[in-house]
Amino acid sequence: MAELSGAELAQKMNGSIMQGSPSLMFNSYSIDSRTSLQGSLFFALKAERNGHLFIPDALKKGAAGAVLSQDISPVDKAIVLLQVKDTTLALQILAHKVLMDSQCQVVGITGSVGKTTTKEFTSLLLAEKYTVLKSEGNFNNHLGLPLSLLNLTRKHEIAVLEMGMSHQGEIQALTQIAPPDVAVITNIKPVHLEYFESIEDIALAKKEILQGAQSDGTAVLNADDCRVLEIAKDWTGKKILFGQTDQCDIHAHKIKKMGFEGMAFRFVYGSDSAEVKLPFLYNSYLENFLAAAGVAYAYSVPLQNILDRLPELEILPQRGVHYRLEGDIHLIDDSYNSNPAALETALKSLSASPCKRKIAILGDMLELGNQEDEFHHQAGRTAVQNNWNLLITVGPLGRQTAEGALLEGLKKENIISFNNSIEAAAEIDEFIQKGDLVLIKGSRGTRMEKIVKILLSKGR
């Protein structure tokens, strides 16, 4: 982590030391009093809750200092208190200056679907040749990204950062903190439509990563997504295209599905190529891998280095993890989140899987604005079109999913609806039979992991 004295911190954040020793060193930083470590610096942010109220809790946890923007009750004189105008801005300014001091390159990754997985894959492929810092979990917003940067050390050569958004201007703000040397756009899909009038507006928001990138940087772009190519047409820097066509610098062709074992394909990496097998069931994970390989290509990582890392590629928890249960039951835990594009990929990718029955347990998709009924209706149609035998809906929007399935020809007795995941979890075991494939997917708010937990606990 960045190791800085109180005096250095005050100078970088344009603040002042109210009390405590200017020479006291810090190398751990927190915005949550519950995670404050011994000797750490706590940022009292003003968000939904006023972080200044939690300074005493942070100090009890061992924090040795706090960054604040308002008066607080007196604390031990040994505690370093740093006064700034805005604690959130101070965190961001500090992160930016730490980055600038480090000489570390930045890979910024955005897109509607697959950012976190692409970030994980990218970090792994680069780590064969470089010392890499990656943002933890899905730390991809105005707080998570700067906190990630404060983990930089002198050894780091590349920082791989996820850049998310739900509103216009958010990615622009992130690029001001960490201007990408390599900007990755995985795809542009109908996500967060509650906050945007159209998918075209989403595309413009994603374009901010290119507008904020270094002028001599590289753009790694999904050539299979026409909206990505459209927003990047005026990009004057270097372009690396990935996808499934021969025109791409990085591409896969002759893709063969191997049931529950994954997929095989010819991997083309610039002028090199190799036969590759990946243990992924979803087509979207192939897209994530190709995007990560595009970044590796930008940094001249040899093909053999990538091949050596393939056995280490893993699916993140709750994002399509495959469990083999008793009775030859195959459970796909995709309970982390859901949106129309990701759900369509899951339903189509698993459609030809070898099993007796395919059961789709689908929770509501949230943040879709006034198009939510239409998207859920289409989800039901897509399930039937891809030969899913039993549809179980969870949540109030499930009625639209059920209606779509009925209109597409699924029998009424093959559709079951629950109000919430608690109800579904209590009864789900009676619907599962030997040899079934069970997909569980829904937005975070539907808590679909409750159903997964029940099936795993029973070995079903």
Instruction: Clarify whether residues 143 and 290 are in a common domain.
Output: yes
Phi, psi of 375 (to 5 degrees): -65, -40
222 part of a folded domain: yes
Instruction: Clarify whether residues 116 and 55 are in a common domain.
Output: no
Per-residue pLDDT of the chain (460 residues; tens, 9 = 90+): 789 999 999 999 999 999 999 999 999 999 999 999 999 999 999 988 999 999 999 999 999 999 999 999 999 999 999 999 999 999 999 999 999 999 899 999 999 999 999 999 999 999 989 999 998 877 889 999 999 999 999 999 999 999 999 899 999 999 999 999 999 999 999 887 888 889 999 999 999 999 999 999 999 999 999 999 999 999 999 999 999 999 999 999 999 999 999 999 999 999 999 999 999 999 999 999 999 999 999 999 999 999 999 999 999 999 999 999 999 999 999 999 999 999 999 999 999 999 999 999 999 999 999 999 999 999 999 999 999 999 999 999 999 999 999 999 999 999 999 999 999 999 999 999 999 999 999 999 999 999 999 999 976 5
Instruction: Clarify whether residues 165 and 207 are in a common domain.
Output: yes
Instruction: Clarify whether residues 215 and 237 are in a common domain.
Output: yes
What is the DSSP secondary-structure string of 75-107? --TTSEEEE-S-HHHHHHHHHHHHHHHHT-EEE
Question: What CATH number is attached to the domain comprising 191?
Answer: 3.40.1190.10
Instruction: Clarify whether residues 166 and 294 are in a common domain.
Output: yes
Instruction: Clarify whether residues 217 and 294 are in a common domain.
Output: yes
Instruction: Clarify whether residues 143 and 268 are in a common domain.
Output: yes
pLDDT at 273: 97
Question: What CATH number is attached to the domain comprising 45?
Answer: 3.40.1390.10
Among 266, 281, 312, the domain boundary falls at: 312
Instruction: Clarify whether residues 307 and 326 are in a common domain.
Output: no
Instruction: Clarify whether residues 417 and 292 are in a common domain.
Output: no
Q: How far apart are CA 251 and CA 268, in angstroms?
A: 5
Counts for the chain of helices (H) and strands (E), in that order: 15, 22
pLDDT digits (tens, 9 = 90+) for 168-184: 999 999 999 999 999 99
Residue 76 belongs to what domain range?
A: 4-86
Report the candidate in 360, 353, 361 with the shortest Cα–Cα distance to residue 328: 353
